[in-house]
A and B are shown apart, each in its own frame.
Chain A
Amino acid sequence: MKTCLLRTALLSLATCTPLLAAPPPPLPAEHLTVATLPPNNPHRVYVLDEAFNNEIDSRVLLFDGDTYKRLGQIGAGFNPGFNLSPDGKTTVVGTTYFARGSRGKRTDVVEFNDNTTLSVEHEIVLPPKRAMTLPTYFNLAFSSDSRFLYVSYVTPAASFGVLDPAKYSVLSEIDTAGCVLTIPSGPNRVSSICESGRLLTVTLNEQGHEASRAMSEPFFDADKDPVFVQGIPTSDGYAFLSFLGEVHEVDLSGAQPAFHPVWSLLDAADKAQGWRPGGTQVGAIHKKLGRLFVSMHRGGEGTHKAGGTEIWEFDLKTHKRVARWPLAALKLDAVGALQVTQDDAPILFAATEKADVAVIDALTGRLRHVEKQLGQTPWLMMNP
């Protein structure tokens, strides 16, 4: 009975205590501010969300692969291309606006966004010829010294514009005889890919006008095995993967393109099983480590846009596969876009067809994080 009384007393004390305690102090008044970006780090990635379901509202999303934070957004208008300046300080967006949102007068424009504020600082209005197509590295691209900015035009006649990003002006338009996109090399050369499997290389003078042009030998066959136009930056140029898994490394360090010996991602067994690369950004290269990452799937003709069910890693010197990461084991959907950071502790970003972005340790394949729904349609990722 004594124990029972004591228990009752303790219980009522415990029950009453909160009522007797002083209420917490009110929350302090807040000040509305605008957040500033934290200091830069090598694991930031710029993700182009085409927003395909409402394509006039595309955007570039800035995501941090260390903190997994969404840092901000750059507007990208309709069916855009985008790229980063060689110093990483500027994001250029080539896009189109209609005066009344989804209708009205068409204006094609290149916007210069400050990557420390994510604000548009300048723009250059273009002739209404901008190539409206899947985003690649080559829809618009800087010369190595940032003196020129090149913009691909398709009307469907193909040409490109040469812009002055310091004076914000259009310097010239150069016809490319049906060859497309602007693959930059050095301070004044632009190569375009031709249906014949050749590269047309135009060299510019000081004023940004054509000084000379030359056509390379064919390096692929568009009928038998086309290359993806999503070239992957290498230490001396770009690697172009073919639909059937061949690797065409193009050296653009000289006055004219030079072609390394072609090699294949596939051995006989892989070919028999129907493995192929596919997606909107089919691969990424870590230049210092000499490693190529490719999204691979099994399929036949017409599956070149299918996302990868595995990521394969290759040594660019030996051309041997050094790792194979099945994505089902990581509980990831098929991957349509890949990008890798260029530091010594690299991160591989993998955007799935369901718009999740996986953060993967590029050295081990260990999955660190999955950022769910980073936009609607993340088709291209860039890293400074």
Chain B
Amino acid sequence: MRSLDKLFENSSRSLARHTSRRSVLATLGQILTGAALVPLLPVDRSSRAQAAEPKGAAKGQSDDPKSCEYWKYCAVDGFLCSCCGGSSNSCPPGTRPSPITWIGTCHNPADQRDYIVSYNDCCGKTSCGNCECNRNEREKPMYRPSRNNDLNWCMASGDNSNYHCSVSVILGLSESAK
């Protein structure tokens, strides 16, 4: 990973000096995608955010999607959309899912599997203010944005970059759980 980092950094630095900003931006997007194992950054997940609430209570943890202890929220830092008119995988009415996101891996005690989840922010209204949740399993500082929950992921939503709440959307089993 280190050598990969070095390779990407060197290539990006070279690109930064010799190519247009649009091109550099696209390259950085690819770097982040590569670091994240699955192609997630940047990507529109709004259609997936409409999926039904997943079933299966977590044993030993809360099975309540309005609880910060719910298994899918293992690295959520923000307000739970479940308490704001949405659900653990849908944004509240009148808000917009962030077109970019970051991902994490959460363990579901109910089936003993690890899942890749996408942490989207819901944007365009001011803070929901309900059910603040701050969990940071495997979360990293902002120099690793693909694993960071301090960034406002509504940042790329233009005039809708106001942060409202956060969801956690199952993308699939993690490689280790397959």
Q: Which residues of A contact B (CB under 8 A)?
A: 52-56, 78-79, 96, 98, 101-106, 128, 131-134, 154-158, 175-181, 193-196, 198, 200, 213, 215, 218, 221-223, 226-229, 301-305
Contact = CB atoms under 8 A, between A and B. Distances in A.
A259 B118 CA distance: 37
Contact of B144 (A52, A131, A181, A222): A222
B59 interface: no
B120 interface: no
Nearest to B41: A156
Contacts of A52: 127, 132
B153 to A, nearest CB: 9
7 shortest interchain CB distances as A-B pairs: A132-B152, A196-B5, A177-B12, A102-B126, A53-B129, A302-B137, A175-B16
Nearest to B94: A103
Contact of A305 (B25, B136, B143, B144): B136
A131 B31 CA distance: 19
Interface in B130-178: 132, 134-145, 150-152, 154-156, 158-163
Nearest to A105: B159
B21 interface: yes
Contacts of B158: 106, 128
A50 B77 CA distance: 14
A212 to B, nearest CB: 11
A101 B124 CA distance: 11
B163 A226 contact: no
17 contacts: A55-B126, A79-B163, A96-B161, A131-B151, A132-B154, A133-B150, A156-B28, A175-B21, A178-B28, A178-B31, A193-B141, A194-B143, A196-B5, A200-B13, A301-B138, A302-B74, A303-B136
Interface string B1-29: 11001101100110110000100110011
B156 A155 contact: yes
Interface of B: 1-2, 5-6, 8-9, 12-13, 15-16, 21, 24-25, 28-29, 31-32, 35, 41-42, 74-75, 77, 100, 124-127, 129, 132, 134-145, 150-152, 154-156, 158-163
Contacts of B12: 177-178
Contacts of B140: 222, 226
Contacts of B161: 96, 106, 128, 132
A156 B138 CA distance: 20
B138 A133 contact: no
B6 A196 contact: yes
Given A53-B129, A178-B28, A133 B151 contact: yes
Nearest to A218: B2
Contact of B9 (A78, A105, A177): A177
B133 to A, nearest CB: 12
B24 A175 contact: yes
A155 B159 contact: no
Contacts of A103: 124-125, 159-160, 162
Contacts of B32: 156, 178
A238 to B, nearest CB: 14
A156 B100 contact: yes
Contacts of A177: 9, 12-13, 15-16, 28
Given A132-B155, A178-B9, A305-B134, A154 B145 contact: yes
Given A102-B125, A134-B150, A302 B136 contact: yes
A56 B16 contact: no
Given A133-B150, A156-B155, A179-B9, 9 more contacts: A52-B132, A53-B129, A102-B125, A103-B160, A132-B155, A132-B161, A175-B21, A180-B143, A181-B142
B138 A98 contact: no
A194 B12 CA distance: 12
A56 B41 CA distance: 26
A303 B137 CA distance: 8
B141 A229 contact: yes
A98 B5 CA distance: 37
A304 B136 contact: yes
B155 A154 contact: yes
B8 A178 contact: yes
Given A52-B127, A132-B152, A155-B155, A229 B132 contact: no
A154 B127 CA distance: 21
Contact of B156 (A78, A134, A156, A303): A156
Given A103-B125, A195-B35, A227 B141 contact: yes
A176 B139 CA distance: 22
B141 A226 contact: yes
Contacts of A154: 142, 145, 151, 155
Contact of B151 (A104, A156, A222, A302): A156
